[in-house]
Amino acid sequence: MPSRLFASSFLLGASAIVLIACGNTVETPAAPNATEVTDQGNLTETDGAEAQLDENERIAAFFNETFERDIANSPMFQAQLGRKTEDYGKWDDFSEAEKQRQVEQAQADLNRLRTEFDFEALDEQSRISYRIFEYNQENAIKNYDWRYNQYPVTQMSSVVTYLPTFMQNIHRIETVSDAEDYISRLNGIEEVIGEVINDLKVREERGVIAPALVYPGVIGSAQAVITGAPFDDSEKDSAIMSDFRAKIEALELADEETQVLLEAGIEALTGPFQSSYQAFIAEMTRLQGLADGDKGAWSLPDGVEYYARRIEHWTTVSMDPEEIHQLGLEEVARIRAEMEAIKEEVGFEGTLAEFFEFVRTDPNNYYPDTQEGRDQYLADATALIDEVYEKTDDYFNILPQAPLEVRPVEKWRENAAGTAFYNRPAPDGSRPGIYYINMKDMNDVQKHIMNSLAYHEGAPGHHFQLAIMQELEGIPEFRKFGGYSAYTEGWALYTERLAFEMGLYEGRPMRDFGRLAEEMKRAVRLVVDTGMHAKEWTLQEAIDYMTENTPMAPGDIDRQNKRYMVWPGQALSYKIGMIKLLELREKARTELGEDFDIRDYHDVVLKNGAMPLAVLEDVVNAYIDERKAQ
């Protein structure tokens, strides 16, 4: 999964109102039919071009104004952008009043957009920006109406894991002032977690309590954060203390000054930091006793309508759950047939179900559950990404400038983390793109799927799309940081297929089977997500269906379906987005014939940044029409 774009939206889960942000003034070309007024009152080309440029400049200034305004309201996003301001030691405001202010601001921005700017007078790029900005505001307003149906804390998006991760990966300490700001944030965590606890109570009053499956991992992760020195008598530092100590010692201050800072950090950790985590653990333990099994969105207040909103949010298209369910069944059947062909190719005698079981249990499909096995997996995953870069010239005109690293998930958050995920680089170059692999249990990490994981989470998947988006020039800043799951996850899944077309599976039939297994996982999601949230399937029914139709490891199947349970609709975005990208590529190939160049198609998809699928389709159609005209 891709990283969250705004820290506040991650901490509050899917219910957060994402800050709508916009960007820089850019120079734009004149429209083909631009004209100007002469002394006689006739029109010539120059003045019309200036008039259009004025409208483009005006809307760019509006985007820049709203972007900078929203950054000013988000100390955490400032830090993610590499900015150090007077707010460097603060957290975002997670109060209900702030959420209300944000949605009112979104409505005001939407009104300004529609009343102050002439869409027809804008050039192509400004029109794209207009439509994306408009969609963002509308989506935020719609989501706000359903905020109480969403879980503030899940095993996938939890305040207890994100706050320490933010401190480790985002908060840099380069001066004594930075260190003091770090300590200030440690003290301020108490208020943030207090707001999350309040969110949990408000939803409890409305009959919305997260499923039982959420609590063991979340409580365990919270306890792990406050395990080790200085929270107990352990000789080993906790993860957060280890991070703070290393950053302070790297400053190479006088011993006395170093000790003063370390003692202040310890005081914050053993004071408000620890007490807030203990309060969080107590609240989650209390709610665990009230959790009523594991039920889908259908069981929530107005659950049918809520799930429809979640589908629209995550896929950016309007599709009925039954339509999606049937599409999933069709895709499962198609992929099963391709799996059968590979089973025959490798000479396996038995049914596809027996082949699945062989893949799950074959010891050769796993690295040893040792440090040596983990090190080898990391080395092999890095080599796979290096191999991608050797072939990119034939498929891409543009590559990300930011480097990509492969890292294991930190020990303290393994229980709450997914199998693999990507964190985008810092815009200022201070942090690379990171492909994380969860190595808690190497029996959950199959060799046959490691190619697809590397291509999806790393290159040419999330890293190419998200890093390139941040590095784009000539578009508003808000388009460099926006996110739409159907676009982002659709692209990453599309690149798994693209890697096959690039020859990266050649001579590796079982790795190709792993590719199909990963695509099957996404096809199965269409069935089990709609099953759990619209057809009242139990969690076990979803697990059984995935077990029947994929060779995934049991632990991974369990973790995946528990994720779908708490994020209604998110799992649909992968296959919906991939199908749209393949459809648009085939349309371009068919209509352009010999003039089609896959590198140009990828330019169109990547060099405009993330966007809703309807906008993407219009952008691709415009590219086709322009190329035809040429």
Please give the helix or strand (H or E) that residue 627 lies within, else none: helix 613-629
Of 585, 583, 567, 577, give the one whose Cα is nearest residue 610: 577
* Residue 614: both structure tokens together: 């309807």
Q: How far is CA 271 from CA 275, 377, 606, in A?
A: 6, 40, 47
DSSP state of 41: S
Max CA pair span of the chain? 89
Alpha-carbon span 321 to 393, nearest angstrom: 40
- At residue 51, the pLDDT reads 54
- At residue 27, the pLDDT reads 26
Spatial CB neighbours of 258, under 8 Å, sequence gap ≥ 6: 248, 249, 251
**Residue 326: burial class (beta carbons within 10 Å; 0-12, 13-18, 19+):** middle
Angle at 180 between CA 177 and CA 186, to 5 degrees: 145
Alpha-carbon span 89 to 3, nearest angstrom: 22
- At residue 156, the pLDDT reads 87
> Which tens digits make up the pLDDT trace of 305-337?
999 999 999 999 999 999 999 999 999 999 999
Cβ–Cβ under 8 Å, residues 55 and 117: yes
Q: Where are the domains of the chain?
A: 20-72+95-149, 159-293, 307-577
Cβ–Cβ under 8 Å, residues 218 and 155: yes
* Residue 311: both structure tokens together: 């589908």
Cβ–Cβ under 8 Å, residues 16 and 153: no
- At residue 430, the pLDDT reads 85
Residue 436, beta-bridge partner list: 407, 421
Q: Which backbone phi and psi does 43 adopt, to 5 degrees?
A: -100, 135
Residue 434, beta-bridge partner list: 405, 423
* Residue 498: both structure tokens together: 């693209």
Please say whether the dihedral angle defined by the alpha carbons of residues 239, 241, 242 and 247, taken in this order, is positive or negative.
Answer: positive
Mean pLDDT by 10 residues, the chain (630 residues): 33 30 26 29 43 83 97 96 95 96 98 97 96 98 97 89 92 98 98 97 97 94 96 96 98 97 98 98 98 93 98 97 98 98 97 96 96 97 97 96 95 81 90 95 92 97 96 93 94 98 96 97 98 97 97 90 96 98 98 97 96 97 95
How many other CB atoms are there within 10 angstroms of residue 544's CB atom?
A: 15
Give me the residue label for tokens 């294991």. 408
- At residue 48, the pLDDT reads 52
- At residue 14, the pLDDT reads 29
Alpha-carbon span 552 to 566, nearest angstrom: 20
Helix, strand, or coil here: 107? Answer: helix
DSSP state of 465: I
